Each structure stands twice: as structure tokens, then as C-alpha cells.
């Protein structure tokens, strides 16, 4: 089964989008390698800040476009990982090993089968 891990945290005080610090993070590199070696990680990336987001809504046939995120929240999705593993317990174990887990929340959500 496939799961999407949403890496969520507070953007305030975070770097302005530079990947330099995370691209060289030994813990993140080791986690990526471990997950990739067992064939469970398919894709992952950091997201640009919510200030770069654009939201599209269609209401009564009218397309409404606005700058910024869909909703105001205390935490924002800062990145994601798409993994594949036998079940939810395995997905939770993978999420718990993520180097950011001690200071962010990681939402683990199963995908509908294709």
C-alpha cells in the first residue's frame, strides 16, 4: 500500500526556502538512503513557503484564484514523501524515523488504490 507522509511544521522562523542546510543534513541523507534501499520511498520533496502558494476554487461555475494557502493554520505542509510498504504499522515506523519527527508533525495518509 502507498502512503503519503506530510511533513508539517510552523514556517515562521524557517529558512527562506534555501535547501542548502537540508541538502547536506547527514540524518536526512541517511534516512533517505535507508528508505530508498528497501524500495519503499518513491518520491519526496520540500515545498516552497505558503507565501508562494496560489489557491484555486470553483464556486457556482466561477473560477476564483487567490494568493496564499487554502486556510490559515498553525502548521503548514513543508514537504512530503511518498512511500510504499505492507501496512500502516510499517508506514508509521518509517515516519517515526524521519529526522524531522522530533520537531514537526508527520501526517501519514494512505492513498486510494490506483
Domain range for 24 is 2-110
Closest CA to 104 of 71, 68, 87, 79: 79
pLDDT tens across 2-60, in order? 999 999 888 765 555 444 566 678 988 898 888 888 778 888 888 888 888 888 889 99
Helix (H) or strand (E) holding 75: none
How many structural domains does the chain have? 1
What's the pLDDT at 29? 87
**Residue-wise DSSP of 2-44:** EEEEEEEE--TTS-SS--HHHHT-HHHHHHHHHHHHTT-EEEE
CATH number, position 50: 3.30.70.1060
For cell 520533496, what's the residue? 45
Q: Once rounded to an integer, what is the mean pLDDT over residues 69-92?
A: 85
Amino acid at each position: 500500500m502507498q502512503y503519503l507522509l506530510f511533513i508539517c511544521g510552523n514556517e515562521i522562523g524557517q529558512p527562506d526556502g534555501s535547501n542548502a542546510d537540508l541538502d547536506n543534513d547527514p540524518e536526512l541523507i541517511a534516512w533517505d538512503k535507508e528508505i530508498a534501499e528497501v524500495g519503499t520511498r518513491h518520491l519526496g520533496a520540500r515545498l516552497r513557503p505558503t507565501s508562494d502558494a496560489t489557491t484555486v476554487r470553483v464556486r457556482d461555475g466561477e473560477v476564483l484564484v487567490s494568493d496564499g494557502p487554502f486556510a490559515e493554520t498553525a502548521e503548514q505542509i513543508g514537504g512530503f514523501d511518498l512511500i510504499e510498504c505492507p501496512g500502516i504499522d510499517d508506514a508509521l515506523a518509517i515516519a517515526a524515523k524521519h529526522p524531522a519527527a522530533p520537531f514537526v508533525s508527520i501526517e501519514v495518509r494512505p492513498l486510494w488504490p490506483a
